[in-house]
Amino acid sequence: MLRGGGARRAGGVIAEVVRRARGRALATLAGVIGEEGAGPVDPDVEPRAPAGRGEVSPAVLGAVALGGLLGGLARYGVAQGWPAPAGGWPWPTLAVNVAGSLLIGVLMAVLAGGRAPHPLARPFLGTGFLGGFTTFSAYALEIGALAERGRIVTAAAYLVVTAVAAVAAAWAGSALARAAVRRRRTGRSGGGA
C-alpha cells in the first residue's frame, strides 16, 4: 500500500495518464467529426448550419421519411409472408437484417466509389429504406422473448449469429461493390475494342 508521498506521486501519474488519454481521445474525435468550421462529416447535414446545430433540409427529411415508409412496408411484407414460429428461431428478422446489411455495404461502396450520386440517394436508400427495412428493435425483443421462454441457448446463439452475419454481410457487400466499381472504371479507361 502506498503512503504519503508515494500515494501523491501515484495519484499524479494517474491524473497525467488520464489527462493525456483524454486529450488524444478528443483529438481523435475532432478528426472524426471535423474541426470547427470545417463543416459536418455527415453529407445529409446542411454545411451552412452553425456549429453544433446540424440542420437537415426538408428534402432530406422527406427522402428519409419516404424511404423509411417503404422499407418498413417491405419488412412488414416479409414478416407477413414468412411468419416466425412461436418460440423458434426468428428466421425472417435474421434474413431481413443480414440482407439489409449486405445492401447497405453495397450502397455505401457504390456511393463512395462512383460518380457523384444524387444528394438524396443516401438519405432515401440508406437511412430511409434500409434503415426502415432492417430492425434492431425486433431483434432485441425476439432475444428477450426467447430468453423468457427458457430458450437461453437459442437466444444467445441468435444474438451472436445475427451480429456476426450482419457485419460479415455489410463487409462482403462493400467489398463486392468496390471490386465491381474498380472493374467498371478499368473497363471504361482500358480502351477495349
- Closest listed residue to residue 56, CA positions, set 105, 127, 106: 127
Q: Does the annotation list 87 as a binding residue?
A: no
CA distance 20 to 43: 31
State the DSSP code for 62.
H
8 A C-beta contact, residue 135 and residue 94: no
How many CA atoms does the CB half-sphere of 184 hold within 13 Å? 10
- Residue 83's contacts (CB-CB under 8 Å, 6 or more residues apart) are 92
Please name the residue that has the C-alpha cell 446489411: 101
- Angle between the 91-113 and 152-189 helix axes, to the nearest 10 degrees? 30
Contacts for 47-52: CB closer than 8 Å, 24+ residues apart: none
CA distance 145 to 129: 27
Q: Does the annotation list 39 as a binding residue?
A: no
- Closest listed residue to residue 59, CA positions, set 3, 113, 145, 123: 123
* Sequence ranges of the binding site for Na(+): 131, 134
Binding site, by residue number, is 131, 134
